């Protein structure tokens, strides 16, 4: 593939992996999809023409930066065929219903108001009854909890608030007894600054192998090595006067980035992963795994990109030059020999780069978590707005049809890093039950692996915080401090409440006394249980093809067609807003198998979803 230049047409840039995803990201900022670059006028523009029109408004280094980033990927996008119609290779992780547990707030059994391993063990029968077949545990390792366990101090020790290694062994054994897989969280882009490796790294900057485990750069108190900023606000460097050096942290000040160019780091990570896989763990969710390779020399980030994204330097770490090499080595020396499952967290990158990470021919990852649909349109997480499910429909159709026959989607609406999706969509709680059930049935009838986040099965909404005293998340607390330079405390608190990760980290209300609207929660639980059962028993929903029947505004009708071993097709009709919409013309003899409304109606009501099955006689 030839390198692109300033005179390459946008439509040709759109055909390169990084170019596709960058142009899609730019389109998203104006509420469009990348398809806009197939438009003859727009597709024939070039960076040179744009530069001419934009003049001084756009710094010329921006296009140079984009061109070198796009040219840094030498992989071709081979046509991997149409995801929606291919017959995939069966695998347990394609059929699984995953449930993400954030141990700190899942279930507490010793009244310290912190979830623990005995709490998880005590709920395995509940999860088995729901129909869950695989668990993903957010980090349970020893940690000072600056970022609630995503700052690991000892990879082979259990956090004392959660319990003991013996209790973990019991948990793993009890999962397997119930034919449930268990995957852990692999956080190896960084360690805690209290990790033994980092503590040894501080001893001296010469003749010290551990010093090369991290990114240390010479400097003085004023001039840090580059302009990179942390995703948790502020600069991405700590200064150590005793060494006269800075060390890199893309996240909190206590999460120090590992230097993956160092073969000793890669070997130490591989050793640790094998240690857990030898214990019988079934795989890992890999925390910001796409950040592990950085541009050599850690050069300054482009100021225009930094100002737009608030992440100065991101073009130098979101998809670095050796990323595929490192992941392939990890797969070859740890995951593949154990037939272990891997899902990589992949912030910022889009479908093309994700395809190169997950296509089976690449022997890298089984799946990724893509975040393009976590916010609708050009919105960011801390914006105060109503998420538009029409955006989700466009996104999921695009991925269902373009991702490629050798790649497999993860399907999720919630996780521990985001406010609850039902509250993003609707601020009026009276819609939350039907909305929770709409999201459930979409997630479990689309093609891919569903990841249910703890509490989704009760339709848990956002929490109401009364002041910043209630907010514990380091990302939110840091952001609040920076906001105070631009707005008053009340405005800053309101903005934090719109996007804080704390919404997803409130202890689950297990006892009826703790549960408001207990009957609504039980209704949502029963709906989840039924929908999971329908999916689990239906190869068409697991592996069948996907085709769109209607994608008109506020509607989403689609068909899942039989997988060879089954006769039934499924027809799903959804209303994506409060507005009533015309119903679909159903296939003959369609039988309603699940609805989130108890009565029937001529039109689809607010957030109504109906799942039908039928024999396709066409
Ligand atoms: O998150 C990576 C990440 O980029 C998140 O901060 C995300 O961008 C944002 O919070 C909203 O989506 C992973 C973990 O999931 C997160 O909990 C950790 O704080 C972070 O890495 C550092 O380990
Ligand atoms: Ca506890």
* HEC assignment per residue over 477-499: HHHHHHHCCCCCHHHHHHHHHHH
Backbone angles phi, psi at 411, to 5 degrees: -120, 115
Q: Is 608's C-beta closer than 6 angstroms to any atom of ligand 1?
A: no
Ligand 1 pocket test, pick from 138, 189, 231, 479 with the greatest ligand atom count within 8 Å of Cβ, gives 231
Q: Is 187's C-beta closer than 6 angstroms to any atom of ligand 1?
A: yes
Distances 537 to 179, 373, 408, 525, 600 between C-alpha atoms, Å = 16, 28, 20, 18, 25
**Spatial distance between the Cα atoms of 302 and 50, rounded to a whole number of angstroms:** 18
Can you give the pLDDT at residue 327? 98
- Give yes or no: 287 in active site: yes
Q: Which of 4, 153, 151, 140 is nearest to 70 (CA)?
A: 4
Report the atom number in ligand 1 closest to the C-alpha of 501.
Answer: 10
- Cβ partners under 8 Å of residue 105, min gap 6: 115, 454, 505, 506, 507, 508
Can you give the pTM of this predicted structure?
0.97
Q: Which of 150, 358, 147, 187 is nearest to 286 (CA)?
A: 187
Can you give the pLDDT at residue 56? 81
Per-residue 3-state assignment (H helix, E strand, C coil) for 351-419:
HHHHHHHHCHHHCCCCEEECCCCCCCCCCCCCCCCCCCHHHHHHHHHHHHHHCCCCCCCEECCCCCCCC
Q: Ligand 2 centroid vs 521 CA: distance in angstroms?
A: 24
Ligand 1 pocket test, pick from 145, 152, 250, 288 with the greatest ligand atom count within 8 Å of Cβ, gives 288
Candidate list 147, 151, 282, 287, residue with the active-site label: 287
- Nearest-CA residue for ligand 1 atom 8 is 347
Q: Ligand 2 centroid vs 548 CA: distance in angstroms?
A: 47
Report DSSP state, residue 235.
B
CB 450 within 8 A of CB 443: yes
- Give yes or no: 242 in active site: no
Can you give the pLDDT at residue 30? 81
* Residue ranges in the chain modelled with pLDDT below 50: none
Q: Which of 355, 363, 362, 217 is nearest to 298 (CA)?
A: 217
Cross-strand partners of 574:
556, 609
CB 126 within 8 A of CB 483: no
Q: Ligand 1 centroid vs 568 CA: distance in angstroms?
A: 40
Can you give the pLDDT at residue 616? 84
Backbone angles phi, psi at 556, to 5 degrees: -150, 105
Q: Is 353's C-beta closer than 6 angstroms to any atom of ligand 1?
A: no
Can you give the pLDDT at residue 83? 63
- Cβ partners under 8 Å of residue 64, min gap 6: none
H-assigned helices in 452-577 = 474-483, 489-499, 518-536, 539-543
CB 132 within 8 A of CB 440: no
Can you give the pLDDT at residue 566? 75
Q: What angle do CA 249, 255, 257 make, to 5 degrees?
A: 50
DSSP 275-317: HHHHTT--EEEETTGGGS---TT-PPPPHHHHHHHS-TTGGGT
- Nearest-CA residue for ligand 1 atom 7 is 417
Report the atom number in ligand 1 closest to the C-alpha of 416.
Answer: 17
- Which ligand minimizes its atom distance to the CA of 162? 2
- Nearest-CA residue for ligand 1 atom 4 is 347
Can you give the pLDDT at residue 107? 98
Q: Is 288's C-beta closer than 6 angstroms to any atom of ligand 1?
A: yes
Q: Is 356's C-beta closer than 6 angstroms to any atom of ligand 1?
A: no
- Cβ partners under 8 Å of residue 598, min gap 6: none
**Spatial distance between the Cα atoms of 608 and 259, rounded to a whole number of angstroms:** 50
Rg (the chain; Cα; Å): 24
**Spatial distance between the Cα atoms of 602 and 612, rounded to a whole number of angstroms:** 16
Can you give the pLDDT at residue 84? 67
Candidate list 345, 364, 417, 608, residue with the active-site label: 345
Report DSSP state, residue 611.
E
**Spatial distance between the Cα atoms of 30 and 7, rounded to a whole number of angstroms:** 23
- Which ligand minimizes its atom distance to the CA of 104? 2
**Spatial distance between the Cα atoms of 108 and 483, rounded to a whole number of angstroms:** 34
CB 157 within 8 A of CB 144: no
Can you give the pLDDT at residue 507? 97
State both tokens at 610.
Answer: 């109906």
Please say whether the dihedral angle defined by the alpha carbons of residues 416, 422, 423 and 424, taken in this order, is positive or negative: positive
């Amino acid at each position: 593939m030839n390198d692109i230049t300033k005179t390459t047409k946008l439509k040709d840039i759109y055909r390169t992996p990084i170019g596709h995803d960058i142009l899609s990201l730019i389109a998203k900022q104006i509420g469009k999809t990348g398809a806009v670059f197939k438009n003859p006028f727009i597709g024939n523009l070039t960076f040179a023409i744009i530069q001419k029109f934009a003049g001084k408004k756009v710094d010329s280094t921006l296009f140079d930066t984009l061109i070198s980033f796009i040219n840094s990927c030498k992989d071709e996008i081979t046509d991997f065929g149409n995801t929606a119609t291919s017959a995939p290779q069966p695998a347990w992780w394609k059929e699984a219903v995953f449930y993400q547990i954030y141990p700190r707030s899942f279930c507490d059994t010793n009244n310290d108001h912190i979830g623990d391993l005995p709490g998880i063990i005590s709920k395995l029968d509940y999860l088995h009854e729901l129909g869950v077949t695989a668990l993903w545990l957010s980090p349970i390792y020893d940690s000072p909890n600056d970022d609630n366990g995503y700052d690991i101090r000892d990879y082979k020790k259990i956090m004392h608030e959660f319990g003991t290694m013996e209790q973990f062994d019991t948990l793993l054994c009890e999962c397997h007894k119930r034919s449930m897989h268990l995957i852990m969280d692999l956080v190896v882009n960084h360690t805690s600054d209290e990790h033994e490796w980092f503590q040894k790294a501080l001893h001296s900057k010469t003749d010290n192998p551990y010093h090369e485990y991290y990114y240390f750069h010479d400097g003085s108190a004023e001039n840090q090595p580059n302009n990179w900023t942390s995703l948790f606000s502020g600069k991405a460097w700590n200064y150590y006067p005793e060494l006269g050096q800075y060390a890199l942290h893309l996240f909190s000040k206590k999460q120090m980035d590992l230097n993956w160019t160092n073969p000793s780091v890669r070997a130490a990570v591989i050793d640790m992963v094998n240690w857990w896989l030898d214990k019988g763990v079934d795989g890992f969710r890999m925390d910001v795994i796409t950040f592990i390779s950085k541009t050599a020399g850690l050069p300054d980030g482009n100021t225009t990109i930094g100002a737009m994204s608030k992440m100065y330097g991101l073009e130098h770490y979101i998809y670095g030059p050796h990323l595929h090499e490192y992941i392939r080595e990890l797969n070859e020396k740890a995951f593949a020999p154990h037939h272990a499952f891997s899902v990589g967290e992949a912030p910022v990158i889009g479908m093309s780069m994700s395809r190169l990470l997950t296509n089976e021919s690449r022997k890298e990852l089984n799946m990724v978590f893509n975040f393009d649909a976590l916010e609708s349109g050009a919105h960011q997480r801390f914006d105060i707005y109503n998420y538009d499910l029409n955006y989700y429909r466009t996104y999921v159709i695009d991925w269902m049809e373009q991702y490629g026959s050798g790649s497999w989607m993860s399907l999720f609406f919630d996780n521990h890093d985001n406010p609850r999706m039902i509250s993003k969509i609707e601020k009026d709680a009276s819609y939350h039950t039907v909305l929770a059930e709409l999201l459930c049935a979409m997630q479990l009838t689309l093609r891919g692996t569903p990841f249910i986040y703890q509490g989704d099965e009760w339709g848990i909404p956002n929490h109401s915080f009364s002041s910043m005293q209630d907010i514990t998340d380091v990302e939110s607390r840091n952001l609040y401090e920076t906001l105070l330079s631009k707005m008053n405390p009340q405005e800053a608190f309101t903005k934090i409440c719109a996007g804080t990760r704390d919404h997803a980290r409130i202890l689950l209300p297990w006892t009826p006394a703790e549960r408001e609207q207990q009957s609504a929660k039980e209704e949502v639980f029963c709906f989840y249980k039924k929908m999971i059962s329908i999916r689990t028993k239906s190869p068409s929903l697991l592996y069948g093809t996907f085709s769109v029947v209607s994608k008109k505004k506020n509607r989403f009708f689609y068909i899942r067609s039989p997988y060879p071993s089954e006769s039934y097709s499924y027809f799903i009709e959804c209303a994506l807003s409060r507005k009533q919409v015309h119903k679909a013309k159903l296939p003959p003899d369609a039988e309603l198998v699940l609805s989130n409304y108890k009565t029937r109606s001529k039109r689809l009501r607010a957030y109504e979803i109906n799942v039908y099955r039928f024999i396709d006689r066409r």
